[in-house]
Structure formats: C-alpha cells, structure tokens
Structure 1
C-alpha cells in the first residue's frame, strides 16, 4: 500500500480507495490536484481542475475521484507537471500523453487551446520510446531510450534550446552540442532545462537570471552549454527547484547553485551562487536528491537511509541540510514544501503476486526444494542444478555429466561463493564492499562480465580515503579498468589524505611507480 496520507488532498478518498492506490502524483499551485493509478492500472483524478488539468473533458472541480478512461489499462511509467498546470505522462510502452494548460503550446500538439482530455503526442516522437519526462512552468521535455532530448512550449528565455526565443509548438530535438551525446537524465527549473549525458557532463540552457545554469554568469542561454566548472566530476543525476539546481556525482557528493534566498542551496548562507558549490550532507554518501520546479525546497537521502531537507520549509528558511525523521524524500515535500506537491510520481509495487524473479529469489538456499549442495568452509549452500545451468556457462559444462548432489569448493571463501550463487538467483549482490573484491576475482575467473560490472559499482560506492589504495591495487590485479580509473581519480581528488594512509605507505613498488607517473601526467603535483 502507498502511504499517501501526508498529502491533505487524499482526505477526500475513502480508506477502501486509498488501499488500492499504487501510483500517485499531487500537483497544482496549491497541491489541490491529484492523479492516481490503482493496482489494476485504472487511473483516477480529483481536485480543483485548474485549466482542465485533470483531463476529465471539462473544467469542473471534483471532490469525487473521476476515472480517466484514455489512460486506464496503460501503465504509467513517468509523470511531470507545469505551473499552468499542464501534465505530461509516459506509458510503460514509451508513449507520451499531455493535457491541461496550453497557452504556450506546452502540450506539444501544435495549438494553444487548453487540452481537456489526455491526447497522445506523436509529432517527431513516432517510433521513439520515451523513458523520462520533465516540465518547467510552461515548457515540456522528454528523454528517449536512445538518449535523445526533445522539448517544446514556452521559450521566452531559450528554455527549449532551439537557439531562438520563439515558442515551440511541437516536440523538437534539442541538438547543437547535444547532437552526438547520449543523455541519461533530464530536469527542468521554472524556465531552464538540463541534461546529464553518459560520460557525466551536464548541459544547461534557458533562463539564468539567478545563476541557476551554473555557468558563472547570469545571461540566458538559448542552446545547451556544458558546465565547465564540473570538469573532471562525473554527475549521476540532476534535480531542479524553482530557480536552483542540485547535482549528485558518482562518488555520492552533492553540488548546488542558483537562487538561494531561502537557503535552498544548503551552503549556510542566502547568497545566490552562479558556480557549482559543494554541499556537505552528513559524512555519508548521498544516493538521492530531490527538488521540484514549483518549490524552493531541497532534500537528499544518504546511503544510511537518513533524509535531510533545507531551503523553504513551511515558510522558514533552513540554510544548512537538516536531518529529518522521515524515511523518504517524498515526505519532505508532503509536509514542508509550499505548495505540498510530490516531486516525482510516487510508486509502490503490489506485494501479493510474486514475479518469476521474486519466486526464484525466495528459493535460493532452500533445502526443501534444492537438488544440489555446495560445501564451502564447512557450511552448506543449497541450490538447484537446472537454475545454475540456465544462468551460468561454467555450471552448464560441469553439471551436465555430474550426478553428485554435494560439491566441495575451496578456491573461494563461503561469503564470496554464497554471494555468487545468490547473484545467479537475484541478479544483484549483497556483500560488503571489502568482500566484493573477492567476488570480482571470482567473476573474472568464471568470465561473468555482468557480475564484474556489479562488483565494480559496489566497490565504487564504498570508496573512502582509507581504502582507496587497496581498492586501486585490487582493480589493477583483476584488470577492472573502469574501477581502476575511478579509484585513480578518487586518489587524485583526495591526494593529500590518501598519501598519509597506511595503504599508501605499504603500496606495492611497481604500482607506486605507476601511480606517481600517471599522477604527474595529470598534473597532480603542480603547485
């Protein structure tokens, strides 16, 4: 069940209705409009219906949930909304539907008539699968599965990235320096737009009066421009508030820039900032950032599950990240943002039906159904021959002519071997990062490339000054080039502290020689 009770508008729904909700979005200038989907993919709306934004075919407000037939049976994958409000939705198939306010063509249908019912946007998006949507106050943007960005709507400040300031009536691909780049994430502030590309660079365009583009200036930008100040930093996600921007790096660090009159940058003061400034949240890595273009509020969640908020919180200005008692960033927006909206589509997976993947997960190490036991370090791990053969080339060859129901294994530790077998059932690894090195060794040994990638991700998330050298040498040893590059970059970025660790003092001679010559090549020792 989705806990939506913190948003006042849901008080209009009965307990029975609330129990069925699987996805929900609260929007509108006062958080007075809501769209939700039930467990059998029926879509309902209720609220004030400003500019026909409920999609019911008229502009009548309703305190009774109304069904949106056009969207029933389509699984909603992503949703965003503007200030008019207008709504942009994508289905699991990647189709785009829009409705609501349209004075600036933000519905992408070539007209400026308000859209009273959801209509599919197909111009220039035929045969494209849309995977992410983002709206500014009166413009819309989508990201396709092949990494292309399309934008349309209000363009007074260049926010659709076309190079002019004429409104854009239909979706148009954002090109110039994004032309040959693969975008992986998009976001919109009120009147600006951003995209993160595959190599971690951030491109920005549109309104820049508060420095929200992070370019060190306050001039508007009619076409995408790379944020040069983030050179050497790999951005993973971007989130935009009304006029401020947050980014999360692959090392779990946070940077912010733009408007700051409510402390929404979290830098400890209220001065606007036109360059990216680091934000210190806890000592832990940040794994999620949250902001939305209708509010001056920021939130973040750390790896340890702590949720912080700052900026405009119930009318107060909070100028440094403040630890909350919430379990998710969504609650920050329900309880403290003005208006109380959702910063993203809230979703929950139904828990009664087990998918194939979930069923297999449950059977791992289950002695009741297993037909094979591994003994590692004197402990048993129960598995199913057929699954191992299906999932792993190595087992396919060794189990084919093997009738044993017990196999002893001594090359790897129990922890590592158990994690490997569990991975074959779950597609994920649950292992502390220091043991993930042993699993990386195993993945290399068995030629399991996807597992190798996962191990590298896990290890990246755990990197700190103390263990950076140990992780670097492991990466070199197991020929994990991506991880080696990451650890090397981390060591260079934290050089002073890393060179004082015992790991550095005990570093292998050849590795040290290599490290020093590579570091001097990138100018690490220049004063």
Structure 2
C-alpha cells in the first residue's frame, strides 16, 4: 500500500503507519486529500482554488481535518480546475469550489469553500458517478439516470436549451439507446456511454468533439456519436476537448482537439470522427486522460504503458514508457502531477 503512495512525491514523507491507514486519496496541484480506514478525511498542501475544502485558500502544511466529509464513508473524489466533489457510499454528493454557473448544484451561484451536500432531487437518488468540468457537472445514479447542472451556454447540459441550471435536472436519452453506464465532461461538452456500447455526446462541437460534421456548431440534446457503428465501446475518458474510447476487443478510438497530439494519430490534425489509434501494442485494457491536461495514455493486457500528447514533450503517436501503471505515469508526469482517478488502496 505505502509503495503505491510513494509514487507520489507529496506522500513520501508521511510515516508508514499513516500511509498504511489511508484507503482513498487524490492529488491536485501540490495538494492532497485522503480518507483513512476509520473514515476520517484530511487535506494538506497548496490548496489552490480551495481544493482542500477547509474553508479558505491558504496553504496547509499541517494535515487539516475536513469535518464535513468525516464519517460519510467517502468512496469517490472528483475535481476539475475549480470545482470539487466527494461521493459517499450511500450515494450522497458533497460539492465545493467555484460556483459562478451553478456547477456545484446547490441552487445558487455563490462560491463555497466548504463541502456542502447537494440536496433536492439527489437526496432521493443514489449517485454512483460524478463527472465535472470547470463549469458544468453530470451525475449518474444507481437507476442509470443522468442529472446535469451548471453552465449551459453551448447546450452542454443536454436539456435542449441554453439556460444555466443551479440545481440538478434529469437528462433524457433516446429510448432506443439503452441505459447509461458511464459519463464524462469536457470543457464545453459532455459524453455518455450506454450499455449497448454506443456513445452519445452533446454541447459545443469545437474541433469535432461531438464526432459530428464541422458545420454543426452545437448539439443541445444527446446525440449518438457516428463512426462507431458495429463497435462495442466499453470505456470512455475525456481530456479538455478530446475523447478516448476503448472497444470490447481492446482497440482505442480518439476524436476531437489534437494540437498536442493527444489523439495519437501521428499528426496534430483534429478529428471529427472517432479514429482507430494504430500501433503494435496489443490489446488495450484501460486508458486515461484528465480535463486539466493534454495527455493521453493506455495500458495493455501485458501491463505495458503507452503515452501520447503533451507531457513535457509532445508525442504524436503512442510511445512506450517505463512506468508500470497509469497511476505511476500521472504521478511522475513532467507536466503536472495529479490523480486522473482516485487512488484506491487495498
């Protein structure tokens, strides 16, 4: 357990007893939040944008207890540049950070630096996943319903209009598409994966991120991403304005913005259609990206890690690296070390 945490510079000076008591952790811009086995939650570090949920934006060299999250059995921690979320085992969502568009789902547009439980319609729904950009948020419930809130200038909430929402609103999907199994946010857009293996997207179509023709500027309701017909997608992840999708046969498809080579297609040309990433790297079992970075990565069934996009230098095609996991890659990225997903320590 402590070996996994030691991949991250911010955790290396912690005592072994403490490291062995941590079950969940995230790292962002020189700060860390961790949950202990006895269900207490602490934060320490630079505290940019009030990430630590301590009610201020001051650096915390001492480990500070986040009282609102203690005793909640926190199972998930998600963040963008400015907004932060914690998900409890019971399906409650706590939000804090910037809220100028209502992206915290608290019914106001006032910022808060203290984790606050989202009430309203989510009080009677068990949330199982949170996805957030800097300005809008999606949540997925155990009933496979999607609720959206926040900035909606480009239809990224999928509600058929362009009005911001400060409270969670249920999003309707085409009935023939199946049920939603995963969600992801981009800066101006949103993506969902259905149990049928189909991918839906909506919002602004900058750089072809919706997988639609370039003449389409916006899509205010969920629309099937073309170009994946006959392909069963099992996982989706998104960067700032690019998407990656893994198929059931271990192939990776990418589309959207490509100024840093984050599509892995050997060029810096954007793609308006999902395109197979070619390479002699065998079957892919997982991919990674994060909305704050222009970096993409994948790990094969042989546990080989490949990276493309910007990571101090630019790789236009998947390049094998010496790291043994995606978490280690993101811990030691020369661009900005962060957790692209919570560290779950068994």
In the TM superposition, 1:276-295 aligns within 5 A as 276-295=274-293
Which residue in the other structure is 2:130 paired with?
133
Number of residue pairs matched? 344
Which residue in the other structure is 1:167 paired with?
164
Which of 197, 202, 207 is matched with 1:200 structurally?
Answer: 197
CA distance in 1, matches of 2:168, 2:279: 38
Q: Is the 8 A contact 2:307 2:318 kept in 1?
A: yes
Q: Is the 8 A contact 1:143 1:185 kept in 2?
A: yes
1:326-354 C-alpha deviation (Å, 9 max, x unpaired): 221112222226322111111111xxxxx
1:189 and 2:176 are equivalent in the alignment: no
Q: Is the 8 A contact 1:192 1:207 kept in 2?
A: yes
**Deviation for aligned residue 1:179:** 9.0
**Deviation for aligned residue 1:295:** 0.5
Q: What TM-score does the superposition give when structure 1 sets the normalisation length?
A: 0.63
Which residue in the other structure is 1:301 paired with?
299
CA distance in 1, matches of 2:98, 2:31: 14
Structure whose CA Rg is larger? 1
Q: With CA pairs under 8 Å and 6+ residues apart, which has the higher RCO, 1 or 2?
A: 2
Q: What TM-score does the superposition give when structure 2 sets the normalisation length?
A: 0.94
**Deviation for aligned residue 1:241:** 0.6
**Deviation for aligned residue 1:222:** 1.5
SS for the counterpart of 1:260 is coil
CA distance in 1, matches of 2:8, 2:151: 30
**Deviation for aligned residue 1:74:** 2.4
Give the RMSD, CA atoms, in angstroms. Answer: 1.8
Deviates more, 1:172-181 or 1:142-151: 172-181
CA distance in 2, matches of 1:220, 1:181: 23
Which residue in the other structure is 1:341 paired with?
338
The unaligned stretches of length 5 or more in structure 1 are 350-527
SS for the counterpart of 2:319 is strand
CA distance in 1, matches of 2:229, 2:93: 34
Which residue in the other structure is 1:39 paired with?
37
Which residue in the other structure is 2:5 paired with?
4
CA distance in 1, matches of 2:138, 2:103: 9
**Deviation for aligned residue 1:14:** 4.4
**Deviation for aligned residue 1:122:** 2.0
Which residue in the other structure is 2:142 paired with?
145
CA distance in 1, matches of 2:11, 2:205: 36
Which residue in the other structure is 2:46 paired with?
48
SS for the counterpart of 2:5 is coil
**Deviation for aligned residue 1:176:** 4.7
The unaligned stretches of length 5 or more in structure 2 are none
Which residue in the other structure is 1:241 paired with?
239
1:325 and 2:322 are equivalent in the alignment: yes
In the TM superposition, 1:50-69 aligns within 5 A as 50-69=48-67
Q: Is the 8 A contact 2:177 2:194 kept in 1?
A: no
SS for the counterpart of 1:330 is helix
Q: Is the 8 A contact 2:26 2:33 kept in 1?
A: yes
1:328-383 C-alpha deviation (Å, 9 max, x unpaired): 1112222226322111111111xxxxxxxxxxxxxxxxxxxxxxxxxxxxxxxxxx
> As a proportion of its length, which structure holds more helix?
1
1:109-132 C-alpha deviation (Å, 9 max, x unpaired): 011111221111122113211111
